[in-house]
Amino acid sequence: MCGRARCTLSAAQAARAFGFPTTTSAGGGGGDGGGDAPAVRTLQMDRFRPSYNVTPGAYLPVGTLRARAAGGEGGAEEQGPVIQCMKWGLVPSFSSKTDKPDHFRMFNARSESVKEKASFRRLIPKNRCLVAVEGFYEWKKDGSRKQPYYIHFRDERPLVFAALFDTWTNSEGETLHTFTILTTHVSTSLKWLHDRMPVILGDEDSVNAWLNNSSVKLEEITVPYEGTDLVWYPVTTAMGKTSFQGPDCIKEVKIGPSEKPISNFFTKKAAGPVKSEKASGEFAETQAFKTAKEESDDDSGENPSNKTEKIHQTSTVVKDEPVTLDPQVFYKADEGIKKEDGMLPDDPVEERDPFSIKRKIEDAGVEAEMEMEKSGRSPVIPARKKEKGPKDGQASLFSYFAKK
């Protein structure tokens, strides 16, 4: 895309950029064109106003080929180069004479689809032209902020764009010449900035192929310019105002570190120390770790990083404890049953099945009752569990709290 440009070129400088002859040698290439003049026809150049911030709707010098009377006998016409001042922003010739021209509608034309649209397709054979500028501007989007960049050749020679022009007459009989700049997909070096760029004709061969040789395929000409001499730098954001003019438009500015978008303030922070605490708690739930954790949490005056370090040290100590391979020992269901009564063996039980232990206890109880009957002793009847709930005349727990 190309919607802003800088053009302060004289007619002679534009002629040299187009490859048209001038009245003086082009050896002084980088000059301001003082005393220079194009050796070709110029039309309506009094309408041109040099500007550092050119927008659609402004007049620019355009190079094209126009029929002119030959000097020989017969008065036959021949094509000759012409520099004419035209308005940027195409107005098709078939537009209604009463329409108000909108130069922002067609200031660019996509080269990939130019053959498909009636506004441009009919212009390709005979209405090709060249536009010369010193540089153009493109904006880089950074969230809601847009930063403009000035793009130009390193040696400051003019950029030449491929363009198409048309002629429209309004209801008052005034003829208006307008043009549109062709664009293509962006070059490799400018992909970071935008997805489109103007078709830059970087040498004399490409200029002649576009202007004089309609037999060359359009696709071969409208390719992105990949030359390393195309450079850029950031400029002031005041460029967004069309009224902003002067050399300050192309003055390079320094860009500070980009501000963090507001969405960053609402994202959750990564909890590194918390995760490590969780992992330590899952794999080493010991009293020593719990104590260290409580002490770490209670010490509010301590540096959080020291707290994390202390927790990690504690977890490290716990993890480094020697691990024994001795089998774990369990005594199951030993309430109310004494080992000396012979109901449980003296040796510890190594992870026995709880159901088998219960059955053995029950069998031992039956054998004890039988022994008591044989010996004439009365069997011991286990006391019944007290039923829950208050007895008659005894206050319940609920009434106890209700009184208070």
Q: Is residue 394 part of a domain?
A: no
Tens of pLDDT, residues 390-400: 555 566 666 66
Query: Residue 110 sits in which domain range?
Result: 2-22+36-67+77-137+157-228
Looking at the structure of the chain, the number of domains it has is 1
Give 364 or 192, the one with higher predicted confidence.
192
Give 131 or 304, the one with higher predicted confidence.
131
Q: Is residue 402 part of a domain?
A: no
Q: Is residue 201 part of a domain?
A: yes
**pLDDT value, residue 403:** 56
* Least confident range of 179-193, 251-265, 285-299, 338-352: 338-352
The CATH number given to whatever domain includes residue 205 is 3.90.1680.10
Q: What's the pLDDT band for 266 if we cut at 50, 70, 90? A: very low
Q: What's the pLDDT band for 2 if we cut at 50, 70, 90? A: confident
Q: Is residue 262 part of a domain?
A: no
Q: Is residue 316 part of a domain?
A: no
pLDDT higher than 90, residue 115: yes
**pLDDT value, residue 215:** 82
Q: Is residue 111 part of a domain?
A: yes
Model pTM? 0.62
pLDDT higher than 50, residue 271: no
pLDDT higher than 80, residue 142: yes
**pLDDT value, residue 150:** 97
Q: Is residue 59 part of a domain?
A: yes
**pLDDT value, residue 342:** 44
Q: What's the pLDDT band for 379 if we cut at 50, 70, 90? A: low
Tens of pLDDT, residues 83-106: 999 999 999 999 999 999 999 999
CB < 8 Å & 24+ apart, contacts of 364-372: 368/341, 368/343
Q: What is the DSSP string of 350-393?
A: -S--HHHHHHHHHHHHHHHHHHHHHHTPPPPPPPPPPPSS--TT
**pLDDT value, residue 338:** 46
pLDDT higher than 70, residue 116: yes
**pLDDT value, residue 397:** 63
Beta strands 41-43 and 77-88, pairing class: parallel
Tens of pLDDT, residues 21-35: 988 644 444 445 555
pLDDT higher than 80, residue 155: yes
CA distance 178 to 183: 17
Backbone angles phi, psi at 69, to 5 degrees: -70, 135
Q: Is residue 165 part of a domain?
A: yes
| Three-state helix/strand/coil letters over 57-91 | CCEEEEEEEEEEECCCCCCCEEEEEEEEEEEECCC
pLDDT higher than 80, residue 326: no
